Amino acid sequence: MSGDPRVPGAVCRINALPDDMLLLILSYLSARQVVQTCVLSRQWRNLWRSVPRINATSDEFEHMSDYYEEDTLLFKKFVNRFLMLRNPFALEDFRLWYDMPWESDDYSEDANLWICHALHCNARSVMVTITSKTLKVLIMDIDCSYTFEEQCSISIPSLIRLDYSTFQRIPLLKSMKSLERACAVLNTYYHTEVDDIRQFLKSLSGVTDLNFSYEGNMLNMGNIQWCPKFNNLTTLTTSQWCLHPDFYPLIVFLQNSPSLEILTLELRGVGHTHQRFIGELEERSFSCEHLDSVDIVCWGVQEHDPVLDNLVELLTENGIEPDEIHINI
């Protein structure tokens, strides 16, 4: 970068650019490429330490050794060293692509430290992509808080169980082909669209055990087919949100769960029933031939509560025997 030594007086024009411009150019490179520029000339030796954007990806370390795990260790050492030697300037953007080779707290702890570093540097934008070929259980609860404007994307083909209960925007679920159990409490601060619900449930359509609750803004479903067929679903748990007097969302779920065996409904007293989904039904009947147990769990509900009475009537009218309905008050 200091000019062609074979041409006397040759000048590299890029070296004439101010450091701010050079740092902007470096920001479009990966972290490893940025560090490699330190050998170009004395002017470039320490520029990488002040780059305002960090793009760290484990892909660049693939096949650097004979073993996949060693590649990951090299990536960890590189990122730790990079962040340690970096000048303490504010970050504009931090992007992390990290492929964890197996289930280990050590690997997640490293990622947590890197993300914390970015936040401590007042990063304006943080983008994290973490993939795992072996992760079986993912729990994102109320303590899991993120402030990204973009929709969170989760793609874990090996995942068997998903527990999701945060106040964040409904995530985009991809490649969940191994998923068997899901517990989802959607109580988001963000405005929810019908398509958000549709894509979320579609990604869960292969589960055998589902606990689903929605506490977001009211949605007018019209006659849209928002609920997929849950052909494998044998156990369903749901709550107050679908027990509004017309039982619209409950009926839709039952119409699309032909293999259902166990149904649990959680009912609360007066003041807790709020209509969340509004929709049109051409047919209110449903057939659950395999359903042999309905548990209605009540809190603050009187024995002859109108919602409870109407619920029992709905179930019995659709072929569920009274002795299969268990009410716990």
The pLDDT value recorded for residue 9 is 46
With a pLDDT cut of 90, the percent of the chain lying above it is 40
- Does any domain span residue 128? yes
Structural domain harbouring 38 = 13-132
Question: Exposed, middle or buried by CB within 10 Å (0-12, 13-18, 19+), for 91?
Answer: buried
Stronger pLDDT, 290 or 121, i.e. the higher one: 290
Q: Which of 66-75, 106-115, 290-299 has the lowest mean pLDDT?
A: 106-115
- Does any domain span residue 169? no
- Does any domain span residue 324? no
Most confident of 78-82, 90-94, 131-135: 78-82
Give the model confidence (pLDDT) of 196-252 as tens digits: 899 999 999 999 999 999 987 888 888 778 999 999 999 999 998 888 778 999 999
Stronger pLDDT, 306 or 112, i.e. the higher one: 306
CA pair distance 106, 312, nearest whole angstrom: 51
- Does any domain span residue 29? yes
Check: CB of residue 249 under 8 Å from CB of residue 239: no
Please say if the pLDDT value at position 101 is more than 80: no
Count of domains forming the chain: 1
Please say if the pLDDT value at position 169 is more than 80: no
275 pLDDT band, cuts 50/70/90, is: low
Q: Which of 18-22, 83-87, 186-190, 221-225 has the lowest mean pLDDT?
A: 186-190
Give which of 148, 140, 202, 196 is closest to 175, Cα–Cα.
202
Looking at residue 106, the DSSP 8-state letter turns out to be H
- Does any domain span residue 7? no
Please say if the pLDDT value at position 320 is more than 90: yes
Please say if the pLDDT value at position 44 is more than 80: yes
The pLDDT value recorded for residue 113 is 84
Sign of CA dihedral 312, 314, 317, 319: negative
- Does any domain span residue 283? no
- In angstroms, the Cα distances linking 180 to 21, 132, 176 are 51, 17, 9
Most confident of 91-100, 256-265, 283-292: 256-265
Angle at 174 between CA 172 and CA 175, to 5 degrees: 165
- In angstroms, the Cα distances linking 188 to 41, 43, 161, 164, 227 are 52, 50, 21, 11, 19
Sign of CA dihedral 193, 196, 202, 206: negative
Give the model confidence (pLDDT) of 2-17 as tens digits: 445 444 444 467 888 8
Arithmetic mean of pLDDT, 52-72: 84
- Does any domain span residue 119? yes
Arithmetic mean of pLDDT, 67-93: 88
The three state secondary structure string of 265-316 is EEEECCCCCCCCEEECCCCCCCCCCCCCEEEEEEECCCCCCHHHHHHHHHHH
Please say if the pLDDT value at position 90 is more than 90: no
In the structure encoding, which two tokens stand for residue 263, read together? 């149904």
* Average pLDDT of the chain to the nearest whole number: 84
In the structure encoding, which two tokens stand for residue 184, read together? 């989802």
- Does any domain span residue 110? yes
Arithmetic mean of pLDDT, 61-79: 85
Please say if the pLDDT value at position 20 is more than 50: yes
Check: CB of residue 248 under 8 Å from CB of residue 219: no
pTM of this structure: 0.68
